[in-house]
Structure 1
Amino acid sequence: MTTALVTGATSGIGAAFARALARRGWDLVLVARDEERLEAEARAHRAAGRRVEVLRADLADRADVDRVAARLEDADRPVDLLVNNAGFSVREPLTGRDVAAHDRAFEVMVRAVLVLSGAAGRAMRARGRGRIVNVGSTAGRMTMGGYSAIKAWVTVFTEGLSNELAGTGVTAMVLEPGWVRTEFHERAGISASSMPSALWLDADALVESALKDLSRGVVVSTPSLRYKALMLVVRHGPRGGVRRVSRALSSRRRASLSP
């Protein structure tokens, strides 16, 4: 049997990955902070005949990250696919005095990705097979504050990881979604009406596209033709233009934030 470990597995893209993999016959290790929601997700997948393990962990807590890493390196219970999905919006300005929110973001979306990818990579390399997916964002191609900077790191880190694992039977892919209709933006207080409707993606369709890219050995996956086209312009256009668009999007997002 094949087993996938998914972080941030109780909602949004993480839950969509779990659904898609369960439909394909994978067993699951679901990781998230909310134990009640973890158990609810697990019950649904078990009812469909899948074996599901739940692992409550706050990835801002280094001891919890170490527990998840140990599970990834458990040779008696191999994990064939790691999906590093846990994350959240960072609204605090870069010039603010209080950097607590940035610290938490670094722990969850940078350090945890580093530690868990490393643990999975070591275990998978020893077996000669495995796949790692790190969820980045098209925001990492933009200049929209701390979140953009973090997701830019995720992309470059994953590309470097892919190089390091080349020829071992283990692959690494970064998924760079655009705006996706999930709880992520609701929790951030960002209204769906604040962005053009054509830019919003469906989480399940996004994951299906990502899994196709993963099977083809794609290293940087950008779901949907419209985002592929947009990111082509962003990558090859003048950076001054990217900064101007980023300022406009940031202003529009701030205007949409719930009070």
Structure 2
Amino acid sequence: MIQTYLEKCRQLIDTVEQQTEQLQQAAQWFADTILAGRMVHVFGSGHSRIMVEEMWPRYGSFPGFNPIVELSLTFHNLVVGANGQRQAMFLENVSGLAERILRNYDLSEQDTALIISSSGCNVVPVEMAEEFQKRGVKVVALITKEHSDRSTSKRKDGLKLSDFADLILDTGAPVGDAMVTVPGLETPVSPGSTVGGALIVNSIKAELARLLTQAGQPPKVLTATALVGSERATELFESAYDEHAHRLAKLYAEVGKKTFVS
């Protein structure tokens, strides 16, 4: 079973490699955003949150990304009871929540967005993409294409995340995500979308770092002490977090100015 899963993962690498041109396009859009002093908005509900955190902040990552993570949609630890999985799965399909989330930000057409949803069928991630596009923000959708094609949208009009994407990337996982069939067990185990998704976001990250460096703005990369020493690692972390704060401040500076009463 271990060898079966690993072989399936090798196939995911092939699927990602076949999307090199699309990965380069996503990296170029993201580079344009970051070089303009703006941010790439990254959103995922449910377990798609994993890809948001894989992009930023973590070792080998750098500022320029706005991780939008709603705890009500992604907090799985308790499973049942208060803050349980049933509530999260319910909220993931509440229309209008995406608009409320984005009400917090002053978006620009210079921004870009990465929306992650394996099925591409739950309401909130689909509406997030729709709301971004309404504001002139380019949307990169990270889905599992085979699974999305075989799934039914939770929206009444049947539209999916792919319908609101300027670029679509595929994790390469199968329908249902799980990749290993165990003899005597009715249903398959061991999902693949996390592996494929991580390959995709880190491939984009690597190409993006090249583009930023080539443009004369090398990113401030969160780097381990074991590589650069304690003093330099601390310097990189502090400067990266400061840059993130300054970029984020632009997203709040003009929010609600047309509506609030001073």
Judge same fold: TM > 0.5, yes or no.
no
Bigger CA radius of gyration: 2
Q: State the TM-score, normalized to the length of structure 2.
A: 0.40
Structure showing the higher helix proportion among its residues: 1
Q: State the TM-score, normalized to the length of structure 1.
A: 0.40
